[in-house]
Every structure is written in structure tokens, then in C-alpha cells.
Chains A and B, each alone.
Chain A
Amino acid sequence: MGNLLEIQGLKTYFYSDGRVIPAVDGVDISLRKGETLGIVGESGSGKSVTSLSVMRLLPKTGSRIEDGQILYKGNSLLQLSENEMRDIRGNEIAMIFQEPMTSLNPVYTVGQQLTETVMLHRGYSKKEAREHAIEMLKKVHIPRAEKIVDEYPHQLSGGMRQRVMIAMAMSCDPELLIADEPTTALDVTIQAQILDLMRELRNTQGTSILLITHDLGVVAEMCDRVVVMYAGQVVEQADVFTLFERPSHPYTQGLMKSMPKVDQDLDRLDSIPGNVPLPGTIKQGCRFASRCPFVEEKCLAEEPPLYTLQDGQQSRCWLHADAAGKEVAGA
């Protein structure tokens, strides 16, 4: 399996009030064809900025991709002109956002928004596009698709809107779907419906998915491989079974222990002390050092590399220095 998407050494910085905010600070992520890759992290970890960088949807002013490469099928997305990028966006790479209300246009009907992409990318006529839109609505199990197609977003519930967003994203049969917290705004029973739908589309269309979430439960259920981000960096990377069986980075371990479980009783939760750091506030050493239970002097002075352990698991922590040895130290 070749890599469909390869992010190499990506640095996306924001500039405000003369300050530089390194939201994404040297990130390497690769996504194989047909794979569902999860990116997990808390607020400010840089997971959403990474996905917006891939789509080249960052705000024009105040942000810049400083360094790195984003290769899609081996071609650099960063070198494309805006027109060439538009051919890819919505067509080969589609995106679903967290807030289905704010990402649908309230003054256009569902049908108008659904037909736009296929008319642009596929050159469908209005009539063909409308039929296609209805077909897509049926595919995402929207009842009364022929009627809903003429309704406005505000007439739909949150779950229905997210279905419309998915229909829109899937309408050009994209190879890569980027889903940024697709179920976070939804109730748990609706979330179950939407995750079910995404799984179904993945299995029937073979779409590769980049799933951005803060919910480890969703990751366990959906993903093949997982990247854990913290303060703009990848701190751990592993296949989903390895990650949940033996998380190796202290941050991942802490995250898992701090979650209350629906099927278990814990008297006290282990919690990670301190606060999630603002990007750019930690200048030296490991970014997790101030909250880490295993912190040593070295952690405060020097930033650890991403070590490659067994089964392709990677972890950015000095704890692995002895076990892994210097010679196998990864990127």
C-alpha cells in the first residue's frame, strides 16, 4: 500500500501582535490508501491546523506554512496554484467540519449546496446534479430525500445537517475524507448513527479517512492507526491496538488514565496536573515536561526525538533512549 497523503516536517505558524505562534511545529504524518488515521489531541495541540494546512484553507493573513511538504499521491499540494488546488478540494479531498450549522450556508437550500460541487467538478447539468444530490441524500439515509433537497439547513436537526455535510463531502467520491471532530457537537445516539454511516461509506467506497478528534472512544471504534499530538507536535504514533494496549508516551498514558469509563468504577481518576500549554510558550526541552510524572533534568533541557519502538510505534520521550538506543532514533 502506497501513501496517499504524506505530511513531512510541516510547520504552520500564526502571527499576531508581533508574536509568532507555532501552532504546528514540525509534524510528520502519513496516511496509507484505504486507511483511517486518527489524530488525537486536546485544544491547542495543532490537530485542526494540520488538517486545514492540507486543505490549504488557512486564513490568508496572519498565518503561513513556514516549512515542510504535503504530498498527495506524490505531488506537492503546497506548490499548486489556487486554481489547481480548487480542482482537488471537494473533488479528491473533501472535508467535514465540526459545526454543521456554521458550515452550511443558511440562505441556500440543501440541494443548491449539494449540486454546486458536482456541477463544478463533474460538469453535470442542473438536472443531473439534482438527481445526484437526491441519490446522495438517500445514501446517507436521509428520509424523504426528494423533499429535504429543497429545504434550508435551519429546518433540519443537528444529526440531519451532519448527514448533509457528509453527503456533500462524498458527492464527488473523494479519495480522502478529512473529518474534523465530525460528531463532537452531536448527542451520543446521533453520534452512533453518524459513525455507523462513515464506516459504511468507507467500506463501500474505499475512502481513506483522516479523523480528527479528542474522543479516544471514537478513535478506538473507527481508526486503524492513531497519531497523538501535543502542543504542535506528534508525541506518539501507533496502530490502534498497540496504542490502547501499551501507550508509550507519558502524555498518552495520562490521557487514557484520566478518562472516566462507562463500564468501570474508579474511585479516583488519575489526572494530568497543570494546564494544556498555549502554543509557543514552551521554548526549551520536552513540551510535556512540566506536567510529566517521569520528568528528569534532561527533559527540561533538551527536546526528545521521536523514537521508533517495536511494531512501528513511535514515541517522543527520553524514556525510550536506553531501550531503543541512539542508532534507531527516528526522525
Chain B
Amino acid sequence: MNTLLEVKGLKKYFPIRAGLLGKTQGFVKAVDDVSFTVHEGETLGIVGESGCGKSTTGRSIIRLLEPTAGDVVFKGQNLTGLKGEELRKMRRDLQIVFQDPYASLNPRMTVGAILEEPLKIHGLAGTTERRQRVKDLLDIVGLTEHHYNRYPHEFSGGQRQRIGIARALITKPKLIVADEPVSALDVSIQSQILNLMKDLQEQFQLTYIFISHDLSVVRHISDRVGVMYLGRMVELAPKHELYDNPQHPYTQALLSAVPHPDPREVRERIILSGDVPSPANPPTGCAFHTRCHACMEICKTDRPELKQTTEGHWVACHLY
């Protein structure tokens, strides 16, 4: 499988400013040295709880946020150095779908205008062709061409997310970063959108980075899954490996916390004590050591590196 995207040592620090002159008092290390690769045609899921840096990672990759350090290599080209026209051209191939279908569509633009805008910006088609392409695409994502002149408020949440997906697809991208695309939707609508995304992937040979806090959804859609905790990737493995043989104590706890829709099932659950520490002041050594049941002395001082334990299964833990 060809590597489409390679993320190396990605860091994104947000300065904490305080005082009258806004002096920098410290940094929130939202993403702290994350590396992974994405193969062509696959779906890489990224899971984690709020504040773990999964959305910041997604946004830094397509440079909606400027990374503090690290490289993002897409089809052999380093995106972090690109500027202006070059960056814009590259963005044709890298699109994003946002979580909130209510906030991410301009309420004053018709669906047609929303979907044609990327084509105009990238100069991809003439007026009549643009209109045709938009109408074709509306059909592909499960809407109809009658929706062309409607406004976003006339649509339900699920339909809006279809529009959001269509907007990402219109430039025929290679990679789509989907940031919690189904979290705001009802269960019965969520499955429609997940099925649509799978169909589109097949039809257009798309590669997805699928970011979500929902472990069941990520299992369903992904080929490989990465687990993040406090700005770091703690485990990365093919889906089956990760769900059937989780190795990092955090992944184990996370998986055991998911309520199963089976009332007869009795499970031993690992209940983590306390909350996620603040990313402005993360623990030394392993970021998880304050809540880990297997914590050793070394965990308090040395940060574990991501190591390969079996083929394709990477874990950042001193146990391995």
C-alpha cells in the first residue's frame, strides 16, 4: 500500500497569555510529538476523549492551524512550508468535514452557492459545468437537484451533514479529514451518514482520517485506529488488533468503559479514577501515569516512545 500522508513529530502548542501586556505564561500542549502514516485508500480512525488533541491534529494536518513543529508530508511534498498559491492548490486534495452541521454552513448562502464556491476558487469549471457538477453531486450524497436553491436552515441535521460532505467532495480530493462528522446526529441518521461515507470512499477511492470520541463508530469505519491521550498517540494498530488485543492500559480502560447494548452481559470494568490532567501542565514521564493501574517508577520520569510490539501494532508504554 502506498503512503499518502506522513505526519512526523507534529506539535501544536497554544500560548497561554496573561497580564496587561499579554505575556506568554506557558503553553497548552494540545498536540505533543505525534507521528503516523496514512495509506492510500484506507481509513485511519483517531479516538480519544475531549482535550486529547485529536481535532487539533486533524486541523494541523490540513493547516487550518499552523503546526508549532513537525512535518506533514502529503504525496511526497511537505505541507508545513507551503504558502499562498501553492498551499491553496494543495488544499484541493485535502478537505475537511466538520462536526456541527449547523455552524459550518453559511446560513446566507444557498446550497448551490456553498457547493460551487470551491470550484470557483480553484477555477475548476465554467459556469454551466459547475452547476451540473453540483447537481450530480447532490444526487450522489442522497439529496436531489431541487435542493440547489434552498438554504441550510431548510434542512435537517442529517441532510446538512450530507451537504457538508458534498462540499468536501466537490474538488475531488484525495484525503478527507472528518472531524466528529456524526456526533451531532441521532442514531438512526448517524448510520445513514456512515454508510454514505463508506460508499463514497469506494466510489472515489478516498482516504479518510476519521476523528471521533465514539469507539463503536470508529471501529465500524476504520481500517486502523490510533488512540490519543493528552496530546500524544499512545497506541496505533489495525482495527482488529486494537479492539481485540488492546495493549496500552489507557486503551484497555477506554474500551472497557463503553456500555454494551446487552443487558445480560456482565463485564469486569476498569474504572479510571480522577480526570484527565490539564494539557497546560501535563504529568512528567508518561502522561497517563497518574491514572494508570500498572504505573511503575520509570513511568513517572521517562516518556515512553511509540514502539512496534507486533506487526503494525504500536504502543507507547513502558510495559512493552
Contacts and interface: CB of A to CB of B under 8 A. Distances in A.
Given A192-B257, A263-B243, A270 B275 contact: no
A261 B214 CA distance: 10
A44 to B, nearest CB: 9
A203 interface: no
B188 A189 contact: no
Interface stretch (A85-93, A121-129, A166-174, A251-259): A251-259
Given A217-B258, A271-B195, A276-B188, A240 B263 contact: yes
A244 interface: yes
A260 B253 contact: no
A188 B183 CA distance: 14
Contacts of B262: 220, 244
B159 interface: yes
B198 A220 contact: no
Nearest to A275: B156
A268 interface: yes
A48 B274 CA distance: 30
Contacts of B192: 271-273
B253 A217 contact: no
A220 B262 CA distance: 6
Interface string A208-245: 00000011111111010000000000000000110010
Given A187-B213, A193-B272, A269-B194, A259 B258 contact: no
A76 B257 CA distance: 40
A28 interface: no
Contact of B257 (A158, A189, A275): A189
Nearest to A267: B198
Interface residues of B, number: 43
Contacts of B213: 187-188
B220 A260 contact: yes
Interface residues of A, number: 48
Contacts, number: 130
A195 B260 CA distance: 13
Nearest to A242: B263
Contacts of B275: 157, 159-160, 190
Contacts of A57: none
Interface string A23-59: 0000000000000000000110000000000000000
Contacts of A254: 188
Contacts of A265: 219-220, 240
B280 interface: no
A266 interface: yes
A262 interface: yes
B22 interface: no
Contacts of A268: 195, 198
A262 B188 contact: no
For B191, B221, B258, the residue with the greatest tally of chain A CB atoms inside 10 Å of its CB is B191
Nearest to B196: A271
Contacts of B85: none
Interface centre among A160, A188, A216, A255 (most CB of B within 10 A): A188
A192 B49 contact: no
A263 B220 contact: no
Given A187-B276, A260-B220, 8 more contacts: A157-B275, A189-B254, A192-B259, A196-B271, A216-B187, A217-B261, A241-B264, A256-B261
